[in-house]
Chains A and B, each alone.
Chain A
Amino acid sequence: QQQVKQSPQSLIVQKGGISIINCAYENTAFDYFPWYQQFPGKGPALLIAIRPDVSEKKEGRFTISFNKSAKQFSLHIMDSQPGDSATYFCAASMGYQFYFGTGTSLTVIP
């Protein structure tokens, strides 16, 4: 059973556009929601993270929107750049166990 559901599976965006990736979860015990970015041949790297007591967190061009009542959270990448082309994973955790989404392959076209 997938604890965290992520969509879309793949995404193509023009340079300068907004990329939006969505995730949903069921377990209300989750208390930490990170997003990871993974380039080919590399391990995932933390991009940005949020706790459920905050509805939005912004770091540079990356923003997490969190809707606790809907049990959904999303990643917005503003002014998307070709260098943002990578696979993005959302995750949710409680304690020291992390549950990951299935990933979104983002391609930003110049």
Chain B
Amino acid sequence: KAGVTQTPRYLIKTRGQQVTLSCSPISGHRSVSWYQQTPGQGLQFLFEYFSETQRNKGNFPGRFSGRQFSNSRSEMNVSTLELGDSALYLCASSLPGTGSYNEQFFGPGTRLTVL
């Protein structure tokens, strides 16, 4: 079974631009979560989608948004990029469920550099 895929793997943008990152979950997984990973901060939760609905959102500004499509693929968008948005953006998928015991499977991430 194919793992979680993220595209693109690397991205270089300049301040003020916007960017869209894509995530394809493991087949059959309907929950997709996004995280921002930076040195010293670890993984910071951005948002989680299940069946095209955002169920939870982390403490990030409104410049960060996301969506999920009917095939469970997800995109996240960052508008008006700032230098501090440079990070590794990770997507994780899991099987549907209401509990927290569902293992999250992570993709390799998209490395975003803002110049």
User: Which secondary structure dominates where chain A touches chain B?
Assistant: strand
Q: Do A96 and B106 touch across chains, with their CB atoms under 8 A apart?
A: no
Q: Do B42 and A98 touch across chains, with their CB atoms under 8 A apart?
A: no
Known: A41-B108, A44-B106, A45-B106. A100 touches B101 (CB 8 A): no
Known: A89-B42, A102-B42, A103-B42. A43 touches B107 (CB 8 A): yes
Determine whether A46 belongs to the interface, using a CB cutoff of 8 Å to chain B: yes
Which B-chain residue is minimally distant from A46 (CB atoms)? B103
Which A-chain residue is minimally distant from B109 (CB atoms)? A43
- Distance between B35 CB and nearest chain A CB, rounded to angstroms: 8
* Interface residues in A2-46 (C-beta closer than 8 Å to B): 6, 31-32, 34, 36, 41-46
Determine whether B81 belongs to the interface, using a CB cutoff of 8 Å to chain A: no
Of the four ranges (under 10, 10 to 19, 20 to 34, 35 or more), the interface on chain B belongs to: 20 to 34
Query: How far apart are the CA atoms of A102 and B40 in the complex, in Å?
Result: 6
**Chain A residues near B97 (CB-CB < 8 A):** 96
The total of chain A residues at the interface (CB under 8 A) is 26
Query: How far apart are the CA atoms of A5 and B37 in the complex, in Å?
Result: 16
**Chain A residues near B68 (CB-CB < 8 A):** none
- Distance between A101 CB and nearest chain B CB, rounded to angstroms: 6
Which A-chain residue is minimally distant from B42 (CB atoms)? A102
Besides the known contacts A32-B99, A96-B100, 12 further A-B residue pairs in the complex with CB atoms under 8 A apart: A36-B106, A43-B108, A89-B42, A91-B43, A95-B99, A96-B50, A96-B55, A96-B94, A98-B33, A98-B104, A100-B43, A103-B42
